[in-house]
Amino acid sequence: MSDLRAELIENLDEAEWEWLIPHVQRDAVILVALELNLVDVGVAIASDRTPSVQQWIDEQLITKPTTAQLGEWNRDATKRFNTLIVQPYVLVQEIIAA
């Protein structure tokens, strides 16, 4: 399991909104709430930890982007996200400008 975590940590990246659009179009983007650790979510999904993942879904801590969010991101060419690919998904967390 630690190998998976190490691999996911290595694959953490930052992406511009524009780079994520093709993944949104194929319905592969999952928005992860800021209060969750992106790597923890990635490990849970990759390890099929269904109870944890279902709890986050139920609490709306991991969701598909809403139409309103997509519209907002499309209007902000500078929008950036922390990203983690856990095939077939792209997990993203908004980077909130200070």
pLDDT (0 to 100) of residue 29: 97
3-state helix, strand, coil in the chain (%, to 5): 45, 25, 30
How many angstroms separate the CA atoms of 23 and 44, rounded? 21
Q: Taking the model in full, what pTM does it have? A: 0.93
How many angstroms separate the CA atoms of 10 and 17, rounded? 21
pLDDT digits (tens), the chain, 98 positions? 569 999 999 999 999 999 999 999 999 999 999 999 999 999 999 999 999 999 999 999 999 999 999 999 999 878 999 999 999 999 999 998 76
Q: Name 44's Cβ contacts closer than 8 Å, sequence gap at least 6.
A: 52, 53, 56
Neighbours of 41 (CB within 10 A): 25
Q: Name 91's Cβ contacts closer than 8 Å, sequence gap at least 6.
A: 30, 32, 38, 41, 42, 45, 62, 83, 84, 85
Residue 49 DSSP one-character state: -
